[in-house]
Chains A and B, each alone.
Chain A
C-alpha cells in the first residue's frame, strides 16, 4: 500500500492508520477540554469587536432610518442586498459537502463536513439580517409572514421576495436539524468522557440519552440519508429563488433565464472559497492537520475549480446572449459593465473569478495552504463584486436615461459589511471551542473501513 502511494498509484489514506479510536476522540476533543490558545483569543477578540461594531451600526441605522445609506432612485438595492446574496451563497458549500457528497458516498468529506455545516448555519444567519435591516422598520419584520391580521391583507405570493422568506427559513431550519443530528453521537461521546459536573450535564442534555444501540444507529443512518436527500434539492432551490429576486424583473442584466443555475454555481464556488479559508486557518490554529489533510484541500480546490469554471461559462453565456439576443438595452448594459463607471468592479470580478482560479489546475497550488489562502480570499472578494456588479450596474443605467445616477456606498454600509464578518467569525470561533468540530464517530467508521480495505 505505502509503495503504491509513493508511486502515485493509490490514494494516500485519509486517516493515519496507526491511530486508535481513543486517539481520535482525544485529539478531536482536545480543543474543547483545554484552555484556548493565544491565537484563538486574539482572533476571538477582534471578531467580537467587529460584532459589537456591527450591532452598533445596525442600531444607528434603525434610529436614523436607511436614508443614511447611499441608496437613491433607481439604485434602491446596493451593498446591503449584495451582502445578503453573498452570505447566502457562502452557506451553499456547507450543504453541498454535508448532503450532496453524502449521497455520492464521498467518504473524504467526513473530516470537514461538521465545520462546513456550521459555516452554513452562521452564514445563513448573517445573511438573514441584511434584508431585515433593509426593511428600514425592522420591528415590522413579522409582516413578511402570512398571518391573520387586522389589516385583512395577506402577503403577495407572486413575489419572489416572499418566496425568499420561505426558502431561507426552511434552509436555516433544515440545516440546523441536520447539523444537530450529526452531532448527537459525538455529544454522547463527550458526555461519557466528561467527569461529573456541569459539562457532563450539558452534554448529557444535548445527547438526548444516546447510547449507541444498533437499533438507533440503523434508524439514524436512514434518517440522515433522508435528510440529506431533502437538503440536496433544498439547497439548489434556495439560491435559485434568490436569483429570481432579480430574474423575474424586466431590468436589462437581470432578466435572464440563466440566473438560477448561474447563481447556484457561483454560490458553491464562493462557499468553497470560504470553507478553504476557514479550514486552512482552523487546522493550523487547532492543530488538526492530521485530520484535515492536504488531500482534503486538494479535493476542495478541485470543486472550486469546477464551479469557478461554471461561473466563467455563465459570464460568457450572458455576454453571448446579450449580443445574440439583439436587444439594444441588454447589449448596452453589458458594454456599460465592462467600460462604464463601474468597470473597475467588473474587472475585479473577472480577475478574481475567471483568472485566479486557473492557478488551481496546478497540483502544487492545490496542495499548498500558503497558496490556497490568498486564492480563497480573492474568490470571496470576486464573488462579492459579482453580486455588486449585477445589482448596481443594472440599476444605475435602467430603461429611463433621465434617471441615470451613480451610487456611492456610505461608511455605514461598508461598516455593516465589515461587521458582518465579525459576527460570522465570532460564531465560528465559538463553535470550534464549544462543539466537536470533527465528526468523531464518522472518522472512526472511516478508519475502520480503511483498515478493512487494506487487510
Chain B
C-alpha cells in the first residue's frame, strides 16, 4: 500500500555551525524540524529538534536487575537446593562466593539489553534500507530536513530563509513509501 507522497524541504550545509544557526532560525519562526542528518553527533541539536532525554538507561537498569536476579536464583537453586555438594566443608549457601558470577551476569544482561533496546528503537536491523534525503550525510554534508506540513510559513519563504542562513542548497523532495 502506498500512501500519498510526503513533501520535505531539504537544506544542506558544509559545517555544523551553519546548520545550528539555520536550525535556530527556522525554529524561531515556529517550524518544527523533522530531523537533521550529520556525519558525527552535533551537540546542542536535541533541544532545537525537540528530542527528549533517551530512556535507554531504564532499559539498562531493567537488564541489569534481570541479570542479577537470574544469576542469584540460578546459583542458589543449583548449589543449595538441587544438588548441594560438599566441597572442603564449605556451606552450600556460600553467598559471598556467588558475588563474582552475579556481577558478571548483571553486566552482561545490562549490556545486551542496552544494545538491543538501542537497535530496536532506532530501527537498525541487518538489511534495513535507507533512502537518504541528501547525499554525503555520512561523509561531510549536514542536512536539515523540514516536513512541508510542519512549515508554518510559506515553503518558498522557508527555503529563502534557509539559504540566507548559510545553506549550500535547498531542495524539495517527495518521499512515498
For A212, list chain B residues within 8 Å (CB): 37-39, 137-138
The residue in chain B whose Cβ has the minimal distance to the Cβ of A188 is B138
Is there an interface contact between B54 and A219, defined as CB atoms closer than 8 Å? yes
Bitwise, B103-116 to A at CB < 8 A (1) or not (0) is: 11101101110110
Q: Which of B42-50, B159-167, B169-177 contacts A (4 or more CB under 8 A)?
A: B42-50
B1 within 8 A of A: no
| A448 near B40: Cβ-Cβ < 8 Å | yes
User: Is B118 a contact partner of A223 (Cβ separation < 8 A)?
Assistant: yes
Interface 9-mer from B2-10, B24-32, B78-86, B148-156: B78-86
A74-116 CB contact bits vs B (8 Å, 1 = yes)?
A: 0000000000000000000000000000000000000000000
Asked whether A133 is an interface residue with its Cβ less than 8 Å from the other chain, the reply is no
Is the pair A444, B56 in contact by a Cβ cutoff of 8 Å?
no
Residue pair A226, B104 in contact (C-beta under 8 Å): no
CA distance A264 to B145 in the complex (A): 49
Is the CB–CB distance between B40 and A214 below 8 Å?
no
C-alpha spacing A210/B75, complex, angstroms: 40
Instruction: For the complex, give the distance between the alpha carbons of A163 and B130 in Å.
Output: 43
Stretch at the interface among A152-160, A385-393, A414-422: A152-160
Q: Are A209 and B57 in contact (CB under 8 A)?
A: no
- Chain A, Cβ-Cβ closest to B35: A213
B128 to A208, Cβ gap below 8 A? yes
Q: Does A442 contact B (CB under 8 A)?
A: yes
CB contacts (< 8 Å) of B115 on chain A: these are: 177, 181, 223, 227
CA distance A441 to B41 in the complex (A): 8
Q: How far is the CA of A177 from the CA of B115 in the complex (A)?
A: 7
Cα-based distance from A167 to B54 in the complex (angstroms): 29
Known A-B contacts A156-B87, A192-B139; A209 and B39 likewise in contact (beta carbons under 8 Å):
no
Contacting A at CB under 8 A, from B94-151, are 94, 97-98, 100-101, 103-105, 107-108, 110-112, 114-115, 117-119, 121-130, 132, 135-140
How many angstroms between the C-alpha atoms of A174 and B85 in the bound complex?
32
A222 CB, min distance to chain B CBs, angstroms: 4
- Provide the residues of chain A in CB contact with B124, threshold 8 Å: 184, 208-210, 216
Interface contact B129-A154, CB-CB below 8 Å: no
A158 vs B117: C-alpha distance when bound (angstroms): 33
Q: Indicate which residue in B15, B45, B83, B125 contacts A208 across the interface (CB closer than 8 Å).
A: B125
Contact B98 A226 (CB under 8 A): no
Ranked nearest first, the 8 interchain pairs of A and B with the lowest CB-CB distance are: A209-B128, A21-B140, A208-B124, A445-B40, A154-B78, A223-B118, A214-B36, A217-B41
* B interface residue numbers (CB < 8 A to A): 15-17, 35-42, 45-46, 49, 51, 54, 56-57, 60, 74-75, 78-79, 82-83, 85, 87, 90, 94, 97-98, 100-101, 103-105, 107-108, 110-112, 114-115, 117-119, 121-130, 132, 135-140
Q: What are 15 A-B interface contacts by the 8 Å CB criterion?
A: A21-B140, A158-B94, A173-B111, A184-B124, A191-B138, A208-B119, A211-B137, A215-B122, A223-B114, A226-B60, A230-B107, A230-B111, A234-B107, A441-B39, A445-B41
Given A214-B42, A219-B122, 4 more A-B residue pairs with CB atoms under 8 Å apart are: A158-B97, A166-B100, A212-B38, A213-B35
